[in-house]
Structure 1
Amino acid sequence: MLDADEAVELRTLQARAYGRAGALNAAEAARLRELESAKTRVATPPEATRPEPRAPEPARDAPATTSDAVPVGAAVGAGEEISSPAEPPVTRPPRDDSALAALRQHWRLAAAITGVFVVIGLVLGWLLFADRGPAPMQLSAQQEQWQSAIVASGDFDPGSVRAVAEDEGVVIWFATKNERADVCLVLGHEDATAPACTTQEQAEILGLTARLTKPVSQNQTYDIEAQMFLTHGGEPAVITRSYITSPQSTSMFASPEEADAATTLAEETGLERRTITVVGYDDGVPIWTGVDMSTQRFCLVYDGSMPDPPMACDEGLMLADADRTLVLDVVDDAETTRYEYQFGYGQQYLTVTRGWEGDDAAGE
């Protein structure tokens, strides 16, 4: 330990040694080391001496005995005490050493708890953010047979054939070939298939289209068309369209019932069957157009399911002007609905105005 003078001397030497412009000679540096060593030196406590046990004095009221031992149950007089042998002092470890020892003792438990939390975090992250891809499409037993036949053909990479959509009973499959260099779109129904393939780069830029014709009746067929694009992750995005066609018409219809209605409309109104088509709907009721066979006028027809449907025809020849409008007013329950169909070389569209009463009427 340092006395007061040595402590002052130590602080002076440290200020000169560790100051910004301080410097010590060899003797002063040696003295500084001597003082710092003396300051940090811990004196070893002398070994505790064990005091000799003192024999208790006999109690006042008890007869004196020649034995140094105190009988069991003997009373101790006031102001007297029984001395016990001195126990050695207990040395408590420093607090930091106790914490370090406890950490060493329980490090396995701490590591196990940390590992459990890490695993839980990984599982939750996978459940929330993992891209597990689209769910597989459920196929009927018959459709699974169609898929098995496509796989057995060997035209595509093993394990790449995957059903992605269905339209009017026709299944659309995605597949790859040439070790994933090419992507394919395959349409299948019973024994008929319509594959189309291109490179992955072309599919990402332009997409890929395939079409399959499914017979409906002797005079009608369903045309199913599928268009596929690839996402940034390489997954297929498919859009499908289906329509009814027949040899008697170049028009396309949404259902066999609609195609039959076009045939009936031709018989009832005298419109050319090949020119009849649907241009829009009003609450599910079709609005038709067609060319009158006798006058070659372009006509707009409402519904068409009745013997004498509401119809309005253009007064001029069909191709006389670039853009024209057909107007048809239908009265139902004292309310007038106006149908305006603009046609010609420009964009063609149908406007429905409900509750029409004049040019200033508001409608939809």
Structure 2
Amino acid sequence: MLDADESVELRALQARAYGRSGALSEAEAARLRELEAGSVRGAEPPLPEAAEPRHAHTVPAASGGVDVGGDEVSVSGAAGATVTPHVDSAYAALRQHWRLAVVITVVFAVAGLVLGWLIFADRGPAPMQLTAQQEEWQGTIVASGGFDAGSVRAMAQEEDVVIWFATKNESADVCLVLGYEDVTAPACTTREQAMVLGVNVTLTKPVGQNQNYDVQAQMFLTGDGEPAVITRSYITSPQSTSMFASVEEADAATMLAEQTELDRRTIQVVGYDDQVPIWTGVDSSTQRYCLVYDGSMPDPPMACDDSLMLADADRTLVLDIAHDGETTRYEYQFGYGQQYLTVTRGWESDDAARE
């Protein structure tokens, strides 16, 4: 058993050894082992000689307080309380180095996020999938040797015409190439010009007797230098200045010319009412300008202007169609100003709605 002075000394050494930042010299650690051995003799064997006292942990049965060097330390307040000096050293080491453990965990977490982004991040639109025939077209373009190696890539297609992007002169120039079968239409300019004015190309693709698809593509460069392409196409004929959205629409214009006296070269669509086309054309015999509804039936509804074609003032053609008790008015303004079609349903009513 320890006397009063030894008990005070033991508590002071324990406070220094087991505190959050406690540490003992070799001599003090040996003295602590000696005092602890004396205090628990008969209850538990003393700590092994090789054990480090700073890794031990005392669990008192009851605690009081005694001021030792200005620090409040816990002491056993019950006689015969069991003191357990053995503690898992790994836990103590983790307690001392918890900041390092947190830093390592964060580093691995960030590394995992970066790796995941590198693997799964969206890199922009996926490359266009080419058919075997289109790959042959691309091979011909690459073999021409006019573009930087590895720069030719397909971006889109319009009516089976493929639109490629490429560079020249070590990426100083950018190019837009349209290709269909053995016909290609390339256009190139500097990157600076492409950022401001873009690049425009048109390719004509035959689709039938006296009919062609004119496919147009326009390319600009985004702020980070990536190409952005707009495409459009329409049916044209060498015998006409009119343009149509599809082969079916062009065929309907031919049928309309056969059913009326309108000149086939002047017939065109000026608007739609739902899916019904509204046409205009010039009467072959009278040279009057006419507005026609639908055109898919014999003797279609139409209205013609009696004024001269070369009049300076803008003019308006008006055609009324009655259906299911409701009248719809079609007004087409044309001439030398802006041309547009207005569709008015129930125009006889006070609450006529304009579309």
Structure 2 matches for 1:212-223, cutoff 5 A? 212-223=203-214
Asked if residue 288 in structure 1 is aligned to residue 279 in structure 2, the reply is yes
| 1:297–1:118 distance in 2 versus 1, CA, 3 Å | same
Percent pairwise identity: 68
CA distance in 2, matches of 1:102, 1:241: 67
State the partner residue of 1:228. 219
Structure 2 matches for 1:146-165, cutoff 5 A? 146-165=137-156
| 1:269–1:358 distance in 2 versus 1, CA, 3 Å | farther
| 1:116–1:345 distance in 2 versus 1, CA, 3 Å | same
TM-score where L is the length of structure 2: 0.72
1:259-315 deviation digits (Å, cap 9, x = unpaired): 122122122211111111110111111111111122111110011111100000112
State the partner residue of 1:34. none
CA distance in 1, matches of 2:142, 2:42: 100
Displacement after TM superposition at 1:354 (Å): 1.8
**Contact 2:148/2:167 (<8 A) preserved:** yes
**Contact 1:355/1:363 (<8 A) preserved:** no
State the partner residue of 1:134. 125
CA distance in 2, matches of 1:357, 1:177: 63
Structure 2 matches for 1:339-350, cutoff 5 A? 339-350=330-341
Displacement after TM superposition at 1:238 (Å): 0.7
Structure 2 matches for 1:109-258, cutoff 5 A? 113-126=105-118, 130=121, 132-258=123-249
CA distance in 2, matches of 1:142, 1:263: 33
RMSD (Å) for aligned C-alpha atoms: 3.4
SS in 2 for 1:160: coil
Could you tell me which runs of 5 or more consecutive residues in structure 2 were left unpaired when the two chains were aligned: 1-24, 35-40, 57-88
SS in 2 for 1:148: helix
1:50-76 deviation digits (Å, cap 9, x = unpaired): 9xxxxxxxxxxxxxxxxxxxxxxxxxx
1:114-138 deviation digits (Å, cap 9, x = unpaired): 442122232355578x561321011
State the partner residue of 2:37. none
State the partner residue of 1:324. 315
CA distance in 2, matches of 1:91, 1:134: 63
Deviating above 3 A after TM superposition, structure 1's stretches of 4 or more consecutive aligned residues are: 44-48, 86-95, 98-115, 123-128
Asked if residue 93 in structure 1 is aligned to residue 54 in structure 2, the reply is yes
**Contact 1:171/1:188 (<8 A) preserved:** yes
* Corresponding residue to 1:301 among 283, 292, 315: 292
State the partner residue of 2:73. none
SS in 2 for 1:142: helix
SS in 2 for 1:157: coil
TM-score where L is the length of structure 1: 0.70
State the partner residue of 2:62. none
Residue correspondences, number: 288
| 1:92–1:349 distance in 2 versus 1, CA, 3 Å | same
Relative to its length, the structure with more strand (as a share) is 2
CA distance in 1, matches of 2:97, 2:195: 60
